[in-house]
């Protein structure tokens, strides 16, 4: 990325008071279970979103995305959702909530620059939100815990965009460091950092580059109905969570409900088991078992949770054809995503040959990047 301080000065005439960067997040297991009490295993990628902020003397709010070459503006008294403001609504939502919670209502000059690709399941919007929120908290000096900061971000997005981002993404950004995985357990409301000595192993993140309208036709159609169904089901069974059922007991209880709903419930319960097994494999340094668990998770996401497509499945299956490619799975929560594969660094050229074959079969040109656990959110400069 270009030096964001220089971009900010060129745009507004002076250097920013603060620059914060936040990482992309790669989900390895459990991201579809978070809302239902399951743990999520993630790490922070080397890709980052940088946000530079200066305060103004008036109430004007100016946002400049250098990576998109777009400018948006409003004012503190007019903080509200506007469809045409697109990406800046994520920032406005948080700032609106933060002011409601007692932050000074000052004008801002904001510059964003990011090398995180959008719509491939790497939390690009959440990284922008975290970098902005972290910068504002540091700049105004408001006493606010990490948990409160995350809740304000989520409240703002729900209020402005009527969607709620994953808590785990933000807690991974806040707790990540090189050589470590981050586990967010929503049931226990706990975050833990797990060392992962990968030796000569890497993650390869593959963007399948399938147009969004094609992916939307391939995904299952139960997602909108599933949360409401599950809430009613648990109330009827007098349970707080699916995790209160043993696997066999849940399968019996779900015997008479629609097949699509039943399979999603099974995925949630079995994914929790996979997370526990994967963490045990990490502790032992058992790369083969860890990789197989990733692949089993993909198979369940494909068959039970129904959030895959032939393109993702084809690339995921290639791990069975190359020695020392240990496993792979889809990353993303639906209608967008990528594949993360776990392998020896030495076999990347052979794996790339399979990606060339994918292009010949499907007609889409995939891209990939080598990825390792990296730093979390950080302040990189202050005046």
The residues that are catalytic are 169
Integer-rounded Cα radius of gyration of the chain? 21
- Residue 219: its pLDDT value, please? 52
CA distance 32 to 40: 8
Q: Name the token pair of 359.
A: 């292009």
Q: Name the token pair of 64.
A: 């400049």
Q: Tokens 């007692």 identify what position?
A: 102
pTM for this one? 0.94
**DSSP conformation letters of 63-114:** EEETTTTEEEEEEGGG----GGGTTHHHHHHHHHHHHHTT-----EEEEEEE
CA distance 194 to 319: 25
CA 248 to chain centroid, in Å, comes to: 31
* Cβ 56 vs Cβ 108: under 8 Å: yes
All domains of the chain, ordered by start, with CATH?
4-193+376-382 (3.30.230.10), 197-371 (3.30.70.890)
| Tens-digit pLDDT string for the chain (383 aa) | 679 999 999 999 999 999 999 999 999 999 999 988 899 999 999 999 999 999 999 999 999 999 999 999 999 999 999 999 999 999 999 999 999 999 999 999 999 999 999 989 999 999 999 999 999 999 998 889 999 999 999 999 999 999 999 999 999 999 999 999 999 998 888 999 999 999 999 999 999 998 876 666 655 444 568 888 888 888 888 888 888 877 667 667 777 788 888 889 889 989 999 999 999 999 999 999 999 999 999 999 999 998 888 999 999 999 999 999 999 999 976 556 899 999 999 999 999 999 999 999 999 999 999 999 999 999 999 98
Of 100, 76, 71, the closest CA to residue 88 belongs to 71
Tally the residues of the chain: 383
- Residue 217: its pLDDT value, please? 61
């Amino acid at each position: 990325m270009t030096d964001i301080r220089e971009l900010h000065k060129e745009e507004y005439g002076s250097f920013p008071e603060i620059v914060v960067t936040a990482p992309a997040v790669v989900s390895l297991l459990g991201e579809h279970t978070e809302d239902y009490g399951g743990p999520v295993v993630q790490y922070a990628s080397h890709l980052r979103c940088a946000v530079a902020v200066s305060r103004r003397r008036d109430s004007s709010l100016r946002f400049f995305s250098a990576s998109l070459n777009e400018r948006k503006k409003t004012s503190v008294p007019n903080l509200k959702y506007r469809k045409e403001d697109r990406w800046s609504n994520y920032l406005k939502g948080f700032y609106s909530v933060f002011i409601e919670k007692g932050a000074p209502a000052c004008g801002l000059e904001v510059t964003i620059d990011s090398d995180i690709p959008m719509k491939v399941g790497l939390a690009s919007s959440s990284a922008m939100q975290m970098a902005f929120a972290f910068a504002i908290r540091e700049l105004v000096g408001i006493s606010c815990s990490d948990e409160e900061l995350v809740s304000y971000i989520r409240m703002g997005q729900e209020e402005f965009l009527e969607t709620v981002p994953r808590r785990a993404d933000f807690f991974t950004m806040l707790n990540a460091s090189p050589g470590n995985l981050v586990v967010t357990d929503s049931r226990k409301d706990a975050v833990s950092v797990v060392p992962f000595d990968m030796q000569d192993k890497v993650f390869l993140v593959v963007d399948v580059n399938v147009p969004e309208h094609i992916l939307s036709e391939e995904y299952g159609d139960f997602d909108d109905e599933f949360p409401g169904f599950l809430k009613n089901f648990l109330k009827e069974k007098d349970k707080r969570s699916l995790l209160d059922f043993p696997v066999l007991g849940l399968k019996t209880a779900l015997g008479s409900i629609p097949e699509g709903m039943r399979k999603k419930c099974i995925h949630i319960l079995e994914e929790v088991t996979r997370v526990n097994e994967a963490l045990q494999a990490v502790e032992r340094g058992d790369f083969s078992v860890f990789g197989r668990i990733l692949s089993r998770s993909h198979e369940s996401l494909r068959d039970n949770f129904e959030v895959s497509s032939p393109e993702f499945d084809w690339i995921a299956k290639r791990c069975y054809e190359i020695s020392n490619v240990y496993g792979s799975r889809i990353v993303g929560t639906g209608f967008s995503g990528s594949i993360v594969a776990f392998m020896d660094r030495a076999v990347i050229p052979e794996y790339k040959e399979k990606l060339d074959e994918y292009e010949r079969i499907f007609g889409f040109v995939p891209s990939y990047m080598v990825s390792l656990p990296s730093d979390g959110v950080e302040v990189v400069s202050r005046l």
